[in-house]
Structure 1
């Protein structure tokens, strides 16, 4: 598969990982965690974008970003194109990568591409959102989520220092709310991790 179903793309965020990051939210998730912050990303209908176009968009941001965060929806339900994008980011840029998944770490390890995924991600945050264990900080929505630091590029302290939320006012006047604990403003659908 050479394309991804995309829910949203934010070229500059400071609440989705250390530093200024591009954030890609994929479209589609069958895990249906009660209380999920981003239910609008669950359906399978979304804009299709080729991996090459997404990579060009990310690479075009140049030195304006430190890395890329991929969230959802559920990125590992589109594992092949997500992995292809991560491979290109690792091979062709100096950007870091963070991946959020609702799958538990033991489930990720049983996936066919687990080793390749681990080789191309700096940080993986795993586990279903559990509303009764909500923490909303340190890039973890709930306390059951596990954090896996693969490259040594970041520490838990780096993740703990990320703001819990941000409000971005776009040039067209639109408001975008994002982060691990975004407030809901009006009737908007927050894009969050």
Structure 2
């Protein structure tokens, strides 16, 4: 069993793929893309340690969940653990799997950066590959910038009616005590609105840390330390 180093999770969202999904963001990314909206998730440092079986049970706690989305950070840095997570989840429910990565698919297939990459690719239905390039952020689709590609590694979601590349972006905000999590690929201008709103909510109460980010531009978080 390979433990995962997890930055965050969210159970039950419609902002990161078709249907109701659960998301796991792993800690650590080698790319350090300029404009990354989750810089706190870039360093390869201990976050939350979670066993795949435990995490699978958590992500499937909502019976409406029909899919998992794997993000970060960089999922391929923890490919073996994520492959095991997917296997555990699918032993309970036949979920679809979407995975973001800064690596190109060709490189993953010929020169995998870590162990477990072939197993994870075999479990993924849709892979969104390529680093985030802020100048190519066109405000469309389930990717941060237009250089990122959508690969249907299986036919499972190919004809589901969800436009991965061109759909209008949507996002959700989840508030849990002092933490606000922006889930999804943010539409143009939403990050500034999110930051302003959270700053206003925290003003006069206690200081907050800067919002965190992720290489593929699909989550942001602000948190007030206790």
CA contact (8 A) 1:19 1:65 kept: yes
TM-score by length of 1: 0.87
Inter-partner Cα distance in structure 2 for 1:162 and 1:18: 13
Q: Which structure 1 segments of 5+ residues have no match?
A: none
RMSD: 2.3
Partner of 2:66: 66
Q: Which structure 2 segments of 5+ residues have no match?
A: 196-209, 219-226
Q: 2:171 aligns with which of 165, 187, 190?
A: 165
The higher radius of gyration belongs to 2
CA contact (8 A) 1:18 1:161 kept: no
Q: CA deviation at 1:135?
A: 2.3
Inter-partner Cα distance in structure 1 for 2:135 and 2:105: 20
CA contact (8 A) 2:103 2:129 kept: yes
Partner of 2:211: 188
Cα 1:128–1:14 shift into 2, 3 Å: same
CA contact (8 A) 1:90 1:120 kept: no
CA contact (8 A) 2:5 2:26 kept: yes
CA contact (8 A) 1:23 1:69 kept: yes
Inter-partner Cα distance in structure 2 for 1:114 and 1:190: 24
Partner of 1:26: 26
CA contact (8 A) 1:27 1:42 kept: yes
Q: CA deviation at 1:84?
A: 1.2
Q: Please state whether the residue corresponding to 1:12 is helix, strand or coil.
A: strand
Partner of 2:104: 104
* Segments ≥4 residues shifted beyond 6 Å: none
Q: CA deviation at 1:162?
A: 6.9
Cα 1:9–1:162 shift into 2, 3 Å: farther
Q: 2:147 aligns with which of 136, 144, 152?
A: 144
TM-score by length of 2: 0.75
Partner of 2:158: 155
Q: CA deviation at 1:142?
A: 0.8
Partner of 2:224: none
Q: Please state whether the residue corresponding to 1:7 is helix, strand or coil.
A: strand
CA contact (8 A) 2:174 2:181 kept: yes
CA contact (8 A) 1:20 1:65 kept: yes
Partner of 1:121: 124
Q: Please state whether the residue corresponding to 2:83 is helix, strand or coil.
A: helix
